[in-house]
A and B are shown apart, each in its own frame.
Chain A
């Protein structure tokens, strides 16, 4: 029914990415993302990969990032593996992950040594106490921003599940694996039957 000569509306889905970036470029890009990202590397990863390098469209980036969030483990690290795998298989995944983790590992190891040496200093303790209080507040704000869409949609099971997970881990102090293994199947089942 379709005319074989008709022009394709978009690029075919199986088309390879326009160009495969060399591994060294991928490594350096992730090094740059890791050193600029403070309090979450996501915005920097998007800027680098979608806007500057144009290795992915915004949509591809969102999909890859959704996958990275859904998988267990640190989101940004997962993203580096997902991205690297698509662009260069196992070596690509390794290089992207190493670029992302390398500089922070070096920096944090130096900080760990310094803390072991000077952690008992009263001055340092006071500074860290202030930073810890601010960091806790920052995380509460992140949670509030994440929760907003969940609580504004018409009635759904989301808030109930979120509150149960919170009570189990924060108030009852049950081990995370137990809470997770009980609540996740219920939550997924509710999502399955919704509609």
Chain B
């Protein structure tokens, strides 16, 4: 009896949870049940596009698949949802969890649920090519983010080498100002498991090599999240206590190294050490404003700006507005001279 009551209770709870979770998307669920017909209609509609179709559509559905474990991307999707809604678009975000198989399934589901556009931050660009082709065949616009996808209609890309170069250039400038004509040691936090990131590391290395030739790269370790950056900084200082600069290909490594180095230095020594990151997250910018060892970070516009830009690209498809197929993120170095201004513009609530 007890078990039966438990079973009934659990069934009720499960149904309630499902209803609560799915209630808001009931219309799209209904649409999904009739997928084949809808997909066919969509294809035809896409093929017979006329100038007035945009005005005729009431809403435009956009699916986004991103790894939400990435801070910048989490910020991006939040902004995209808000900005998209303000433009009359319906935005659905799925967490790819950094898994290519999951991402392919999510795109398949987007096709089934009748999206008008799909924005893909590809875990692995080759893995999503086929499913993106299917989306295009169904009349769906595919927008690639950060990585080039062969079967896409537009791309919002990062110039990885020049981003890294900007980081390295700022680091070299700091080295020349603080340790002129001295042979100093520096360390690099890279992330070679992501091919698109490798060029960032190359850019950093080549900039420092060229602009501060006396600086010697003595250690390299990968950093993806803050914990990696923090442990790396501790290990760098242990293996090479004379290191004066750490450059990182991302914000996790930069902000993590900042926390790690602080346990090695007293506050009056913060000016003698430089950490240079990329991504310009709120935490990194506050580190710069507070006079921490972190001296700069390279902004690629920031998650919110990217969110707006991607939604604008989808909106242009909806409204049949011409746009460039490849657009690039802006590269701006944020240091003590413009950190406050950047903070006020991007993060002040």
The answer to whether A and B interact is no
Interface residues of B, Cβ cutoff 8 Å to A = none
